[in-house]
Amino acid sequence: MRQDEAARLRREYEAGGLIEAEMASDPFEQFREWFDGVVEVELFEPNTFVLATADPSGRPSARAVLMKSFSADGIVFYTNMSSRKSRELKQNPAGAATFVWLPLHRQVRFEGSLTPVDDSVADEYFASRPRGAQIGAHASPQSEVVQSRDFLERRYAELDESFGEEVPRPDTWGGWCLQPSSVEFWQGLPNRFHDRILYRLEGDAWSMERLAP
């Protein structure tokens, strides 16, 4: 696709705007309201978000992951704790998460710090996963160079045969919780004159302010 062709891919957003007085005082209450609405309209994997991290030199990287829970403590996802994202977070525990729900012309952006979830929480979630996903967590040296797909398939088959009915959580697998210091709600509107409402954590309370589109 040429640049001029990409530039013509425009679509006007017709949804209603954001009014501060109608939004929750807590961003997680507001997020729950939006997320429940996304689930209700049955968007595909609405818990997908793009996680951005950076190494100690500031070089960024981003990838899509799946949120598995959220609360006032933050949003939680699970991964290999030796993966690139985890290595970067251990060195620089700052990150950003962006949910994009295009059919609703909405996105939510979280920025904050990340900490590992407790082992007991990771154990409980791992036990709830399908057996195939459990074995995959053991078989994949995530983010590492491997010799071939065949190597991975053989490793998976060997582990599948060696494990009994219960598959333990690998020591290299766990979860991260992003605890935000800011949360932005973005609503697409006509003429690219979008609404943006930003929550900032100030001490123990959240403030709210409007950003220009």
Which residues are tagged catalytic?
Answer: 192
Nearest partner of 167 among 147, 146, 138, judged by Cα:
138
Q: How far is CA 7 from CA 1, 16, 101, 178, 213, in A?
A: 10, 25, 21, 35, 19
Angle at 76 between CA 35 and CA 124, to 5 degrees: 115
d(CA 80, CA 107): 27
Contact indicator for 39, 46 with CB cutoff of 8 Å: yes
d(CA 15, CA 106): 9
Count of alpha carbons within 13 angstroms of residue 210, beta-carbon side: 12
Residues 6+ apart with CB under 8 A from 18: 185, 187, 195, 196, 197
